Amino acid sequence: MSRFYNPYNFVRTPSRGAGADARPAGHVSHAESTLSGRLALRVTTLTPLLLPDQAGTTAGVTPLRRQHGSDDSEPDPLILGSSIRGMLSAYYEALTNSRLRVIDESLQSRPLINRGLAPNSPYDLLDESLRRASSPDLFSAADRLFGWVAPSSDRNGTGHASHIRFGTPRIVSPELCTESFLPLHLAPLMSPRISAFRFRVGVRTEEGAHALDDGTPRQAAESYNAGHRKPRALRGRWFAIHDRRLLVGVDEARESHPGRYWGRDLARSGGDTLKRWYEDSGSTKDGLGMTIDRWVKPGTAIEILVDFSNVPIADLRPLVWLVGNPKKITFQMGHGKTLGFGAVSISTDIARSDLVTAKDLRLRYSSLRPDQTHPPREAVEKSLTDWSALSIHDVGLPFVRNDQSGAGHLTDLERILTGVSDAPVHYPMLQRDDGTYSGTLPWWAANERRDGIKAALPGLDKAEFTLPYHPVKRRAHRARR
């Protein structure tokens, strides 16, 4: 294998255009054009789930976050409703091409370039229609559903409460859901940094940013310059990419591979074709990474109730679609997503879920007879089933411009939700002649050398978005001979 997938990529963020924003229905009364109700969800772990309690780190080992009072030998992991909420809101935001509601502070600072400041911050490259809303009139779908807080420069207590509430998760697996082992040092997590412009910055187009051309000169001062002859833009929304070969119980033909890969009592090699990329292959004395001794096992089932009120049908449909396709969609949550941890599926228990209109609520309270339900259960179940059966484009197109251009982000998101299975997924590293691998920095250094190919991170719109193990021109020529 001569190529690999970077463990993260970006879903493009096309300009949202006029008419994409609207005020929320509010909390005063139930509007006629909205729905209220409940979704009963089951979250199932497909790879080990890391819930580190960093405040409890002792002797260099970070323990599993656990419920208060649970047994030390068999701790009950503490899974927060806010964790599931945060995960779903990120995917919902991308599906509806909403404004970026959470902005990394580093993106608002001008980076140091050659001992001086770049002319623009990365945030300056973000299209105006994607920046955080400054008032309720500018709310995107995610702002309306998950809530909004005014920018820090203009807080004054201003905000809007969400129209959705996540209950307390409950583990329903009958067997012990955690697994302990000898301390394991994880490979360091390396988020995309603003200095790595070849991965983070692209060329602005109507459909969002496309990757820079390979070989683009390292003129970083221009790379963050909004007035460049090829206008720059941030690549989009950051998401981890998962390797489907590592999902436990998804593909029965490959079920032995995930078992070997995640098994703690085996050698470092995870079978004939898979190497363990989550273990630190270098020195553990650098202070990076994390050492753990327990995780939540794959196959753990978690139930949670999600209540919503006064949500427009168009805003609710994408959420129902996301949580109604457990065989097609894989999410990631928790720590170590770029190392393959935290892959989960979500399904909806339709029999325990409910949808009601304002009229239905009035009819429910007009009679105490238990045999009169409004609306009929058949109508509720049909709506949930039909919405789950839609394609990603059926769900996402109502949130793009009227000319339906700029819908490429839906294809990007579909590739994130589906995952990959034809090449390894890990951070950039060089493959040595003896088959071993270097750390990340040697790959970056080789990529930027005079004979380096200066590879940019390929976009999800490409048929192949892998990177080479040898980002050097002469090695590439040698491989072609």
pLDDT tens for 379-391 read 999 999 999 999 9
Torsion of Cα atoms, 280 then 282 then 284 then 289, to 10°: -40
* Interatomic CA distance for residues 462 and 288, integer angstroms: 33
Tell whether 104 is covered by a domain: yes
pLDDT tens digits, 171-202? 998 888 998 888 989 988 875 565 578 898 88
Name, in order, each residue with C-beta under 8 angstroms of 71's C-beta and a sequence gap of 6 or more. Answer: none
pLDDT tens digits, 220-233? 545 666 555 678 88
* Interatomic CA distance for residues 461 and 216, integer angstroms: 20
pLDDT confidence of residue 176: 83
pLDDT tens digits, 459-479? 999 999 999 999 998 644 444
Helix runs in 115-216, H state only: 141-146, 197-200
Tell whether 426 is covered by a domain: no
Chain-centre distance for alpha carbon 16: 21
Tell whether 162 is covered by a domain: yes
H/E element, 475: helix 473-480
Tell whether 351 is covered by a domain: yes
Cα–Cα nearest to 344, from 44, 40, 79:
44
pLDDT confidence of residue 69: 65
* Interatomic CA distance for residues 298 and 296, integer angstroms: 7
Tell whether 270 is covered by a domain: yes
Domain that holds residue 94: 9-191+241-418
**Partner residues linked to 444 by β-bridges:** none
Full-model pTM = 0.91
DSSP string computed for 328-340? T--EE-SB-GGGT
The low-confidence residues of the chain, meaning pLDDT below 70, are: 1, 69-75, 104-120, 152-157, 191-195, 219-229, 250-257, 259, 264-274, 281-288, 370-374, 401-406, 474-481
Please report, for residues 53, 278, 424, 466, 476, the alpha-carbon distance to residue 2 in angstroms, rounded to integers and kept in the order given.
38, 20, 10, 10, 10
pLDDT tens digits, 86-105? 999 999 999 999 999 877 65
Name, in order, each residue with C-beta under 8 angstroms of 73's C-beta and a sequence gap of 6 or more. Answer: none
Tell whether 448 is covered by a domain: no
pLDDT confidence of residue 409: 94
Tell whether 385 is covered by a domain: yes
Please report, for residues 45, 68, 216, 444, 446, the alpha-carbon distance to residue 452 in angstroms, rounded to integers and kept in the order given.
40, 53, 11, 9, 6
What's the start-to-end Cα distance of the chain, in Å? 16
pLDDT confidence of residue 218: 73
pLDDT confidence of residue 166: 98
8-state DSSP, 60: T
Cα–Cα nearest to 127, from 99, 164, 169:
99
SS3 144: helix
Count CB neighbours of 435 within 10 A: 7
Tell whether 232 is covered by a domain: no
Cα–Cα nearest to 261, from 43, 420, 419, 47:
47
Report the domain count for the chain.
Answer: 1
* Cα Dmax for the chain: 81
Which amino acid belongs to residue 391? S
Chain-centre distance for alpha carbon 322: 13
Cα–Cα nearest to 14, from 338, 329, 419, 461:
461
Is residue 36 within 8 Å of 356, Cβ to Cβ?
A: yes
pLDDT confidence of residue 41: 98
pLDDT confidence of residue 475: 45
Phi, psi of 214 (to 5 degrees): -60, 140
